[in-house]
Amino acid sequence: MFQFNHIVAALGATATLSSLSGSASAQPDGPSRWLMPTMIEARASMFMPTLNYLTFQHMDQMFATRTVDAADSAWELLENPMSLDGDYVILGETYDLEGALERTRTNALVVLKDGAVAYETYRNGSGPDTRFLTFSVAKSYTSTLIGFALHDGLIDSLDDKVTKYLPEMEGSGYDGPTVRDLLRMRSGVDWEERYEFGSETQLTQVHDNSLVAYRYRWCDYAVKESVPGETGPDERFNYATLDTSVLGCIVERVTGRTGADYMAEKLWKPMGAESDAYWIMDGPEDVGREFFGAGLAATARDHARFGQMFLQGGMANGEQVVPADWVREATVADEGYEPVEPGAPIGYQYQWWTDAGSDVYMALGLHHQFIRVDPANNIVIVKISYTEEPVGRDQENEELFAQITAKITQ
Residue 275 forms part of a structural domain:
yes
Q: Directed axis angle between helix 137-151 and helix 241-255, to 10°? A: 30
Strands 379-385 and 319-320: unpaired
Laid out side by side, the sheet with 78-79 consists of 78-79, 116-122, 106-113, 379-385, 369-374, 361-365, 353-355, 346-348
178 forms bridges with which residues in the sheet?
161
Distances (CA, A) of 118 to 88, 112, 162, 273: 18, 5, 43, 19
Is pLDDT above 90 for 73?
A: yes
> Please, which residues bridge with residue 95 across strands?
88
Query: What's the confidence (pLDDT) of residue 47?
Result: 75
Cis peptide before 339 (omega within 30 of 0): yes
DSSP string, 166-211: -GGGTTSTTSS-BHHHHHTT---B-------TTS--HHHHHHIIII
39/248 Cα distance (integer angstroms): 26
Answer whether residue 89 is part of any domain.
no
Domain total for the chain?
1
List Cβ neighbours of 228 (8 Å cut-off, separation of 6 or more). Answer: 173, 176, 188, 189, 190
> Which pLDDT does position 91 carry in this prediction?
97
- Asked, for residue 302, whether it belongs to a domain, the answer is yes
State what percent of residues in the chain have pLDDT above 70.
Answer: 90
What percentage of residues in the chain have a pLDDT greater than 90?
74
Burial (CB < 10 A; 0-12, 13-18, 19+), residue 332, is: middle
**How confident is the model over 84-129, as pLDDT tens digits?**
999 999 999 999 999 999 999 999 999 999 999 999 999 999 999 9
In a domain, 97, yes or no: no
The answer to whether 104 and 397 are in contact (CB under 8 A) is: yes
Is 200's pLDDT higher than 80?
no
The arithmetic mean of pLDDT across residues 195-221, rounded, is 85
Residue 85 lies in a domain: no
| Strand blocks (E) in 2-139 | 65-68, 78-79, 88-90, 93-95, 106-113, 116-122, 132-133
Q: Where residue 232 falls among pLDDT bands split at 50, 70, 90?
A: very high
Helix (H, G, I), strand (E, B) or coil at 410: coil
Residue 190 in contact with residue 236, Cβ under 8 Å? no
98 within some domain: no
- How far is the C-alpha of 197 from the C-alpha of 206, rounded, in Å? 11
Over residues 206-227, mean pLDDT: 92
The lowest-confidence range among 25-29, 48-52, 328-332, 374-378 is 25-29
Q: Which domain holds residue 162?
A: 4-76+109-409
Going from the C-alpha of 70 to that of each of 38, 135, 179, 349, the distances in angstroms are 32, 20, 29, 28
pLDDT at 37: 61
Whether pLDDT at 331 is above 80: yes
Taking the C-alpha atoms of residue 167 and residue 170, their distance in angstroms, rounded to an integer, is 6
pLDDT digits (tens, 9 = 90+) for 162-191: 999 999 999 999 999 999 999 999 999 999
**Integer Cα distance of 241 and 238 in angstroms:** 10
pLDDT digits (tens, 9 = 90+) for 142-169: 999 999 999 999 999 999 999 999 999 9
pLDDT band with cut points at 50, 70 and 90 for residue 4:
very low
- CATH number for the domain spanning 286: value is 3.40.710.10
Residue 87 lies in a domain: no
Query: What pLDDT does residue 36 have?
Result: 52
What contacts 343, CB < 8 A, 6 or more positions away? Answer: none
Which band of pLDDT confidence, cut at 50, 70 and 90, is reported for residue 2?
very low
What is the mean pLDDT of the segment spanning 63-75? 95
Q: What is the DSSP string of 312-331?
A: TTTEETTEE-S-HHHHHHHH
Residues that are catalytic: 136
14 band by pLDDT with thresholds 50, 70 and 90: very low
Report, as an integer, the average pLDDT of 279-296.
Answer: 89
Which helix (H) or strand (E) segment is 396 a member of?
helix 394-409
pLDDT score, position 11: 37
Our measurement of the distance from residue 295's CA atom to the centroid of its chain's CA atoms, rounded to an integer in Å, reads: 6
Would you say residue 39 has pLDDT above 90?
A: no
Neighbouring residues of 400: CB distance < 8 A, sequence distance ≥ 6: 88, 90, 100, 104, 383
pLDDT tens across 244-272, in order? 999 999 999 999 999 999 999 999 999 99
Q: Decide if 104 is inside a domain.
A: no
- DSSP classification of residue 161: B
pLDDT band at 364 (very low <50, low <70, confident <90, very high): very high
CA neighbours closer than 13 Å in the CB half-sphere of residue 82:
20
Beta-bridged to residue 369, according to DSSP, are 365
pLDDT digits (tens, 9 = 90+) for 296-330: 999 999 999 999 999 999 999 899 999 999 999 99
Assess whether pLDDT exceeds 70 at residue 31: no
